[in-house]
């Protein structure tokens, strides 16, 4: 018996299509649609499988104007899908309205492998007192200066923002949701910020589907 492997929730449906070896169709769930593939089980976790899922989401965003990507491995049956959408209806409706016609831009501040392991920005440090411990936590979750500069440079273009403390070589990540028409203006605004940073390597990628702005509905 097959289930539904969910790629994303959308505001509207489009004709079925093939992408990255997946047969994608749309099923209605309450007031929204789910882009799904009928399958016996979800794909096993692997780098190629993750890339193929990303390719499917990219193909979706070229066809519909509001997409909430599902996490990798979102596998349900029809009644479960209906129940999830019904339970989180308001959250889904608000998120779809937010992402409509918009793209995600992602800025990451990268440090050296050694720096990330020995207490650079965003890493834990030993604390000798309660005050020192609280200060170390504050520093770990504070936005590094280069990412603050990114936020300031593009603040007039940003509809929503998410900040995330990193691990390993990634010190921190800043996600911005912007109108699709503003991608070039966004990149242009960050040219000098990328050149001037001395606190690590600042990378900018996008436009992407709004992965960071999709609510986690599948736990």
**CA distance linking residue 185 with residue 205, whole number of Å:** 14
Average pLDDT of the segment spanning 53-65: 95
More confident residue, 154 or 44: 154
Q: For 71-95, give one letter per residue: b (16+ CB within 10 A) or e.
A: eeebbbeeeebbebbeebeeebeeb
Average pLDDT of the segment spanning 136-148: 72
Residue 115's pLDDT is what?
Answer: 45
Average pLDDT of the segment spanning 183-206: 85
Report the candidate in 26, 20, 4 with the shortest Cα–Cα distance to residue 73. Answer: 4
**CA distance linking residue 127 with residue 137, whole number of Å:** 10
- Three-class SS of residue 172? strand
pLDDT of residue 46 exceeding 80, the answer is: yes
pLDDT of residue 73 exceeding 90, the answer is: no
Residue 89: which residues within 8 A CB-CB, separation 6 or more?
30, 31
**CA distance linking residue 4 with residue 78, whole number of Å:** 7
The region of weakest confidence among 11-20, 57-66, 124-133, 168-177 is 124-133
Task: Provide the pairing of β-strand 32-39 with 3-10.
Answer: antiparallel
Average pLDDT of the segment spanning 39-45: 86
Q: Which structure tokens are listed for 158?
A: 């940003």
Residue 107's pLDDT is what?
Answer: 96
Please state, for a pLDDT cut of 90, what percent of the chain lies above it: 70
Residue 21: phi, psi to the nearest 5? 80, 5
Q: Which structure tokens are listed for 108?
A: 């990451």
The region of weakest confidence among 97-106, 122-131, 145-154, 191-200 is 122-131
More confident residue, 135 or 20: 20
pLDDT of residue 113 exceeding 90, the answer is: no
Model pTM? 0.82
Give residue 134's Cα distance to chain centre: 29
Contact between 72 and 52 (Cβ < 8 Å): no
Please state, for a pLDDT cut of 70, what percent of the chain lies above it: 83
pLDDT of residue 121 exceeding 80, the answer is: no
pLDDT of residue 140 exceeding 70, the answer is: no
């Amino acid at each position: 018996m097959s289930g539904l492997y969910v790629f994303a929730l959308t505001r509207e449906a489009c004709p079925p299509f093939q992408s990255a070896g997946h047969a994608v169709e749309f099923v209605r769930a309450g007031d929204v649609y789910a882009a799904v593939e009928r399958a016996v089980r979800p794909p096993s976790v692997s780098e190629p499988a993750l890339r193929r899922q990303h390719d499917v989401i990219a193909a979706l965003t070229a066809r519909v104007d509001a997409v909430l990507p599902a996490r990798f491995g979102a596998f349900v049956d029809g009644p479960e899908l209906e129940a999830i959408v019904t339970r989180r209806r308001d959250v889904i409706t608000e998120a779809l309205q937010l992402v409509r016609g918009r793209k995600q831009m992602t800025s990451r501040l990268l440090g050296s492998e050694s720096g990330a392991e020995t207490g650079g920005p965003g890493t834990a440090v030993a604390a000798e007192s309660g005050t020192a411990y609280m200060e170390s936590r504050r520093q770990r979750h504070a936005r590094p200066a280069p990412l603050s500069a990114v936020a300031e440079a593009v603040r007039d273009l940003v509809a929503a923002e998410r900040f995330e403390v990193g691990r390993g070589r990634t010190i921190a990540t800043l996600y911005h949701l912007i109108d699709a028409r503003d991608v070039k203006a966004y990149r242009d605004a960050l040219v000098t910020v990328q050149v001037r940073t001395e606190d690590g390597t600042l990378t900018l990628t996008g436009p992407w589907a709004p992965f960071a702005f999709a609510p986690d509905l599948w736990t």
